[in-house]
């Protein structure tokens, strides 16, 4: 069993990498959520040009491979536009966020569509402005439907962060490759075990994310029940949206 | 005369034309709107399985001017090589996804198994593989096959295996959701009618599960196509991304090859997704 565990020093290197991965994930998630909300709502806009723009973005973001998008962002965009002010890390964040935004926009759109029409009609009857309607009536209800597929999507983005090692950003995967270089230099075998450990780390992080989203869901549903006195609608039916 | 009556019910009343137009209960292989796409898919599969392109070394015929602006001549002369890379990519994807369909079925069956330990193990494997990056899995497989002398797999084979494993878990979830979407009443009715398990599955459950499973399978196919370029940098599979990296390393020009593979990829994946959506609409069961 001792063969499966790495040395303490190796775990420290992996931890350093993990912090970079988590920072990348956090930033990409924030930007991705903003993009999903903006384009998800834009896809339901009454203006045709806005819907068209959002559709182009969504088709682009869902159509392109995340790794090819990452390579384009890191290697082509800075040269093409002669713009390299923020460094590779931020370009990688943007690439991941664009990817997440495409899927997230579809989740947001689907969830808003799933809210009963009566809610919108009632808020129009109450003379709420479109912004108020979205902010106070539709989005809070849509949130319960958004969260489960958003959790899956976040795990997908976590998996996507491993790609940045290929463009030489020092994330968990890159730390692993550095360790391999060191091991090869010392002539020590055991690369397979190293990868098993890394896989387990990714698995644990994914489970933590999953748990956080479950927790958020439970909180949201509890609040919904408290306010309305109704049992929360099952969100099972929408959990497959993200795939 | 009596034979004709037996095979087709005698037309009676004004609804004859409607009946001819609406025949949902023909076998699927007698419905051209399903047969057509199926034939296309089989043809594409056959071509991809049969014809293996061995791309030579990717290299540009000439180097663009020194400045970094986009050079369109250079851009266009790279297209044939990009298409070769796309073909390699599509072939690996299709092979890997074929494996995923089979593996996914095994995993779904394992998860449904009455024997609890098998069910737990498959549930854990599915969850584990699903929530870890394919990139790390590919590195892992590569390291695994390097350390053992028994099996010696090439880069493409490892990529195919990795895709099959990773997307097998996704397809197994698709199968599970599809089977669970068959209403309880159908299961109960087939028990009440005392159907044997084979009849129950082949005549009741699977025909109703397929329309729900196919869209998930199609989405997974496109998703695996989007993950397949990883084989380039990791396993040196001569796919699109490998092509772009080679050109970048040789000519120190990254803008043209990168934009080219981006455009090429979108030109394949967006029509594929669109066609899939059309197919989904067609295959939708008339209930």
Give me the pLDDT at residue B65, please.
67
Q: Domain for residue B61, yes or no? A: no
- In chain B, the largest separation of any two C-alpha atoms, in whole Å, equals 84
Q: How far is CA B45 from CA B35, B91, B239, in A?
A: 15, 9, 18
CB contact under 8 A, B255 and A76: yes
- Give domain status of residue B46, yes or no: no
CB atoms B255 and A80 under 8 Å: yes
Whose tokens are 């009963």? That residue is A116
Task: Please tell me which residue, B7 or A31, carries the higher pLDDT value.
Answer: A31
Output the CA torsion A84→A87→A89→A90 (10° steps): -50
In a domain, B47, yes or no: no
**B233 at interface of A, judged by CB pairs closer than 8 A:** yes
Mutate to test the interface with B, among A14, A21, A159 (most CBs of B within 10 A): A159
Q: DSSP for A35-84?
A: HHHHHHHHTT-SSHHHHHHHHHHHHHHHHS-HHHHHHIIIIIHHHHTT--
- For B255, which residue in chain A has the nearest alpha carbon? A76
Note whether A192 contacts B: Cβ–Cβ < 8 A.
Answer: yes
Does any CB of chain B come closer than 8 Å to the CB of residue A79?
yes
**Cβ within 8 Å, pair A65-B269:** yes
Q: Which span out of A127-141, A162-176, B161-175, B272-286 was modeled with the highest average pLDDT? A: B161-175
| Angle between helical axes of B79-112 and B155-180 (0-180°, round to 10) | 50
Q: Which of A241, A74, A33, A67 is nearest to A159 (CA)?
A: A67
In a domain, A243, yes or no: no
- Tell if the CB–CB gap between A80 and B259 is shorter than 8 Å: yes
Q: B217 near B178, Cβ under 8 Å? A: no
Residue in chain B closest to A194 (alpha carbons) equals B140
Nearest by Cα to B33 from B17, B44, B21: B21
What is the predicted ipTM? Answer: 0.84
- The CA distance from B143 to the nearest CA of chain A, in Å, is 6
Q: How many domains does one find in chain B?
A: 1
Selected residue with higher pLDDT from A47 and A3: A47
Q: What pLDDT is attached to residue B40? A: 84
Number of structural domains (chain A) is 1
A153 confidence band (pLDDT: 50, 70, 90): very high
- pLDDT surpassing 50 at residue B228: yes
- Domain of A14 in residue numbering reads as 2-238
Q: Within a domain: residue B148?
A: yes
The minimum CA-CA distance between B52 and chain A, rounded to whole Å, is 23
Q: Does the residue A109 lie in any domain?
A: yes
Is residue B263 within 8 angstroms of chain A, CB to CB?
Answer: no
CA distance B266 to chain A (A): 6
Interface list for B 73-112 with A (CB within 8 A): none
Residue B22 Cα, gap to closest chain A Cα (Å): 30
| Residue A188 confidence (pLDDT) | 61
The verdict on B134 touching A (C-beta cutoff 8 Å) is yes
Q: How far is B142 from chain A (nearest CA, A)?
A: 9
| A85 or A137: which leads in pLDDT | A137
The residue-averaged pLDDT of B57-74 equals: 72
Picking from A136-140, A235-239, B20-24, B241-245, which range would have the lowest pLDDT averaged per residue?
Answer: A235-239
Residue B265 at interface with chain A, using a CB cutoff of 8 Å: yes
In chain A, the residue whose alpha carbon lies closest to the alpha carbon of B245 is: A71
Q: Tell me which residue range forms the domain holding B223.
A: 33-39+72-283
Question: Cβ of A75 and B254 within 8 Å?
Answer: yes
Answer whether A59 touches B (CB < 8 Å): yes
Establish if A45 belongs to a structural domain: yes
Please count the residues of chain B. Answer: 287
**What pLDDT score does B142 carry?**
87
CATH number at residue A176: 1.10.3720.10
* Residue A85 resides in a domain: yes
Chain A residue with Cα closest to B142: A192
CB-based contact, B144 to chain A, within 8 Å: yes
Q: What is the CATH number of the domain that holds B175?
A: 1.10.3720.10
CB proximity B162 to A under 8 Å:
no
B135/A240 touch (CB, cutoff 8 Å), yes or no: no
How many CB pairs (< 8 A) connect A and B? 126
Say if residue B4's pLDDT is above 50: no
d(CA A161, CA B127): 19
| Tens of pLDDT, residues A178-217 | 888 887 777 666 778 888 888 999 999 999 999 999 999 8
User: Does residue A6 carry a pLDDT above 50?
Assistant: yes
> Is B88 within 8 Å of B237 (Cβ atoms)?
yes
Q: Does A60 touch chain B (CB under 8 A)?
A: yes
């Amino acid at each position: 069993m001792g063969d499966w565990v790495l040395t303490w020093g190796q775990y420290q290197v992996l931890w350093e990498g993990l912090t970079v991965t988590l920072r990348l994930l956090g930033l990409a998630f924030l930007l991705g959520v903003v993009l999903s909300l903006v384009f998800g709502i834009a896809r339901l806009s009454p203006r045709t040009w806005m819907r068209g723009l959002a559709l182009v973005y969504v088709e682009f973001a869902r159509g392109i491979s995340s790794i090819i998008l990452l390579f384009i962002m890191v290697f082509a965009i800075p040269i093409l536009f002669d713009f390299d002010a923020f460094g590779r890390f931020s370009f990688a964040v943007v690439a991941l966020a664009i990817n997440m935004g495409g899927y997230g926009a579809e989740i947001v759109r689907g969830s808003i569509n799933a809210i009963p029409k009566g809610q919108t009609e009632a808020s129009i009857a109450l003379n709420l402005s479109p912004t108020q309607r979205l902010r106070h009536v539709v989005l809070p209800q849509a949130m319960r439907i958004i969260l489960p597929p958003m959790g899956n999507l976040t795990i997908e983005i976590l998996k996507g962060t491993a790609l940045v090692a290929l463009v030489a950003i020092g994330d968990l995967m890159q730390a692993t490759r550095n360790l391999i270089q060191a091991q090869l230099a010392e002539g020590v075998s055991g690369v397979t075990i190293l990868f098993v450990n890394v896989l387990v780390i990714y698995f644990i992080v994914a489970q933590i994310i999953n748990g956080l989203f479950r927790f958020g869901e439970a909180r949201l549903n509890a609040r919904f029940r408290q306010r309305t006195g109704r049992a929360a609608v099952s969100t099972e039916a929408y959990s497959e949206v993200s795939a | 005369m009596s034979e004709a009556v037996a095979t087709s019910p005698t037309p009676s009343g004004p609804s004859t034309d409607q009946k001819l137009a609406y025949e949902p209960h023909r076998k699927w292989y007698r419905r051209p709107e399903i047969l057509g796409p199926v034939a296309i898919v089989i043809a594409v599969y056959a071509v991809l399985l049969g014809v293996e392109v061995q791309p030579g070394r990717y290299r540009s015929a000439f180097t663009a001017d020194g400045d970094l602006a986009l050079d369109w001549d250079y851009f266009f002369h790279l297209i044939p090589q990009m298409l070769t890379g796309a073909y390699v990519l599509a072939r690996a994807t299709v092979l890997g996804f074929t494996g995923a369909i089979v593996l996914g079925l095994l995993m779904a069956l394992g998860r449904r198994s009455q024997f609890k330990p098998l069910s737990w193990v498959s549930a854990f494997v599915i969850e584990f593989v699903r929530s870890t990056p394919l990139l790390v899995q590919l590195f892992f497989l590569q390291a695994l096959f390097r350390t053992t002398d028994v099996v010696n797999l090439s880069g493409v084979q490892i990529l195919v295996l990795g895709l099959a494993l990773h997307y097998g878990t996704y397809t197994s979830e698709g199968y599970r959701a599809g089977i669970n979407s068959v209403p309880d009443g159908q299961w109960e009715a087939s028990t009440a009618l005392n159907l044997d398990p084979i009849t129950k599955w082949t005549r009741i459950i699977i025909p109703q599960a397929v329309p729900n499973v196919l869209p998930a399978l199609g989405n997974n196919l496109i998703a695996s196509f989007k993950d397949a370029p990883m084989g380039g940098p990791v396993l040196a599979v001569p796919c699109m991304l490998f092509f772009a990296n080679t050109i970048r390393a040789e000519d120190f020009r990254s803008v043209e090859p990168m934009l080219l593979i981006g455009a090429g990829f979108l030109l394949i994946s967006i029509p594929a997704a669109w066609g899939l959506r059309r197919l989904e609409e067609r295959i939708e069961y008339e209930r």
